[in-house]
């Protein structure tokens, strides 16, 4: 008979395989038969008892800040105190997250996000705008007024009842066999009733341990629910990804501007100086061979200067920064080899990220018109309709534009998607081609 082999252990994650929680806590421990032989009853009691010194201290701090801040507001001294009161829940919540590990080791995700900038002002602005700050202040008030007295009542009742019953023989011996009142309820004047009380305490001890565990588990669940991030789950992660993409776009545009400034203030100025110096050398040089070389060098410097100016304009045009999207589109239309009519009805300024994305999208559309459409004329129109900025680039060319055909339209679509925008291209064979882009714009973003 072949030897028996143990069946292979099921791989984690397979259907039908039951797995325990990654971080078992008090609630899971209460379901186990070995609960009384573990450290969980002691941790439950410690979790409830540590509320006792923390609760009165929190209540005193909140009352002091509220009363002093309200009384001194007229003298402007109370404003910082009231501001401190609004932020008072943050340190308490941080301490409660650490204390929560006594009953629930599962990590509790931070409810606050990183400030947008550096310094105290940016930190305060971020914290005061967060829902988590006000939730934590509400938790601090609830903890100071309601929760810690309930914790003290539950833990104190369990500990005092069990300890009072278990200590009955000791108390009788200390009193020299005289009458002793157990739990301030009944009198014990001999050892048999005292040991009966001791036995009752031993019977109640596991019941009190389970009761304390249940109360502590419920208390921990309430704390976790109150202190959890206001936005939790897949939707918040998607929103955070969207915000991170916007931050990356802003950082990318800032870097483009820095490169543009460096080229404008550095390399371009040196080329201008070089071109002027070569021009003066041509005027002063009598030798014909040297004059020819200087002429060639002068022309090369001028060509390099034209190229670097075009490069600077392609990185980030100054007209877009100074005068906004309509003026920048008109400037791009003037430089197009195909005649372009521009009719943009927009507010004076839009958000910088929107202006930049739309400008380069229009430039890509005009470049496609010049390179591929064989059009005689083009038109750029646009405006804000239904909370969306809609811009169209239309030409009378041969059509056939394809976003996947290497014309750069896919890159434009990707850039607009960061702003929740869309690119729509209609280009049947024979034309015309309509290059439409849509970007959401809220009324608060426009600057008239």
Beta bridge pairs of residue 385:
388
Same domain, 110 and 145: yes
Q: What is the DSSP string of 175-219?
A: TTT--EEETTTEEE-SHHHHHHHHHHHHHHHHHHHHHHHHHHHHH
d(CA 404, CA 406) in angstroms, rounded, equals: 6
Whether the CB-CB separation of 402 and 413 falls below 8 Å is answered with: no
Closest CA to 401 of 427, 380, 379, 377: 427
Does the pTM surpass 0.75? The reply is: no
Do 161 and 62 reside in the same domain of the chain? yes
Q: Domain boundary residue among 315, 344, 364?
A: 315
Q: How confident is the model at residue 387 (pLDDT cuts 50, 70, 90)?
A: confident
Domain check: are 145 and 199 in the same one? Answer: yes
Q: Which of 232, 251, 284 is the last residue of a domain?
A: 232
The predicted structure's pLDDT at residue 285: 56
- Domain that residue 247 falls in: 236-315
Percent of the chain with pLDDT over 70: 68
Task: Say whether both 102 and 122 belong to one domain.
Answer: yes
| Residue 278: CA count within 13 A, CB half-sphere | 19
Would you say 47 and 220 are in contact if contact means Cβ atoms under 8 Å apart? yes
Give the tokens for residue 62.
């909140």
Least confident of 62-66, 76-80, 237-241, 357-361: 237-241
DSSP state of 26: H
Looking at the structure, tell me whether residues 340 and 294 fall in a common domain. Answer: no
Residue 13 domain-assigned?
A: no
Q: Are 387 and 431 found together in one domain?
A: yes
Q: Give the count of beta carbons closer than 10 Å to the beta carbon of residue 117.
A: 10
How many Cβ atoms are within 10 Å of 386's Cβ, its own excluded?
7
Residue at 12 is within a domain: no
Report how far residue 270's alpha carbon sits from residue 301's, in angstroms, rounded to the nearest whole number.
Answer: 10
370 & 441 share domain: yes
Tell me, yes or no, whether 6 lies in a domain: no
- C-alpha torsion sign, points 344, 350, 353, 356: positive
- The answer to whether the Cα torsion of 156, 157, 158, 162 is positive or negative is positive
Number of domains observed in the structure of the chain: 3
Containing 383, the helix (H) or strand (E) segment is strand 378-385
Q: Which of 232, 267, 298 is the last residue of a domain?
A: 232
Tell me which of 357 and 56 has the higher pLDDT. Answer: 56
- 45 within some domain: yes
Structure tokens at 335: 């430089």
CA 10 to each of CA 24, 195, 268: distance values in angstroms, whole numbers, following the listed order: 21, 53, 68
Q: Are residues 333 and 393 in the same domain?
A: yes
The per-residue pLDDT for 129 is 87
Q: Are residues 244 and 202 in the same domain?
A: no
Closest-CA residue to 423 (of 441, 431, 411, 432):
411
- CA–CA separation, 424 and 409 (whole Å): 10
* % the chain with pLDDT above 90: 12
Identity of the highest mean pLDDT range in 95-104, 107-116, 348-357: 95-104
Domain identity same for 70 and 121: yes
Convert 52-83 to b/e letters by CB count within 10 Å (16 or more is b): eebbeebbebbeebbebbeeeeeeeebeebee
How does pLDDT run across 28-38, given as a tens digit for each residue?
888 888 888 89
Check: CB of residue 207 under 8 Å from CB of residue 232.
Answer: no
């Amino acid at each position: 008979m072949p030897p028996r082999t143990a069946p292979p252990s099921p791989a984690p994650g397979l259907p039908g395989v039951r797995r325990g929680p990654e971080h078992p806590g008090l609630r899971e421990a209460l379901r186990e038969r070995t609960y009384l032989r573990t450290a969980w009853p002691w941790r439950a009691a410690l979790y409830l008892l540590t509320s006792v010194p923390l609760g009165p201290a929190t209540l005193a701090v909140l009352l002091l800040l509220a009363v002093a801040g309200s009384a001194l507001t007229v003298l402007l001294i109370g404003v910082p105190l009231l501001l401190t009161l609004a932020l008072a829940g943050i340190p308490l919540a941080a301490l409660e997250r650490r204390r929560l590990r006594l009953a629930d080791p599962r990590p509790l995700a931070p409810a606050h996000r990183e400030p947008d900038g550096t310094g105290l002002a940016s930190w305060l602005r971020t914290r005061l705008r967060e829902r988590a700050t006000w939730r934590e202040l509400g938790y601090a008030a609830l903890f100071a007024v309601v929760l810690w007295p309930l914790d003290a009542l539950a833990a104190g009742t369990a500990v005092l009842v069990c300890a009072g019953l278990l200590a009955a023989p000791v108390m009788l011996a200390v009193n020299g066999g005289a009458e002793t009142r157990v739990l301030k309820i009944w009198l014990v004047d001999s050892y048999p009733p005292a040991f009966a009380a001791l036995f009752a305490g031993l019977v109640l001890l596991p019941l009190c341990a389970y009761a304390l565990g249940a109360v502590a588990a419920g208390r921990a669940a309430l704390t976790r629910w109150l202190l959890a991030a206001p936005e939790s789950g897949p939707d918040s992660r998607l929103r955070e990804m969207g915000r991170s993409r916007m931050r990356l776009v802003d950082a990318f545009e800032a870097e483009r501007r820095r490169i543009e400034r460096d080229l404008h203030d550095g390399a371009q100025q040196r080329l201008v100086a070089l071109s002027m110096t070569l021009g003066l050398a041509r005027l002063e040089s009598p030798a014909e061979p040297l004059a020819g070389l200087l002429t060639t060098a002068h022309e090369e410097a001028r060509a390099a200067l034209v190229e670097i100016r075009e490069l600077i304009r392609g990185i980030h045009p100054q007209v877009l920064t100074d005068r906004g999207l309509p003026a920048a589109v008109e400037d791009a239309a003037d430089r197009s080899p195909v005649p372009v009519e521009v009719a943009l009805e927009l507010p004076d300024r839009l958000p910088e990220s929107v202006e930049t994305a739309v400008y380069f999208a229009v430039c890509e559309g005009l470049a496609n018109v010049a390179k591929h459409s064989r059009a005689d004329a083009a038109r750029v129109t646009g405006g804000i309709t239904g909370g969306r900025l809609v811009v169209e680039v239309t030409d009378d060319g041969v059509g056939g534009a394809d976003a996947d055909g290497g014309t750069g339209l896919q890159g434009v679509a990707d850039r607009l998607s960061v702003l929740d925008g869309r690119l729509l291209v209609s280009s049947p064979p024979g034309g015309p081609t309509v290059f439409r882009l849509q970007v959401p714009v809220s009324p608060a973003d426009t600057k008239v």
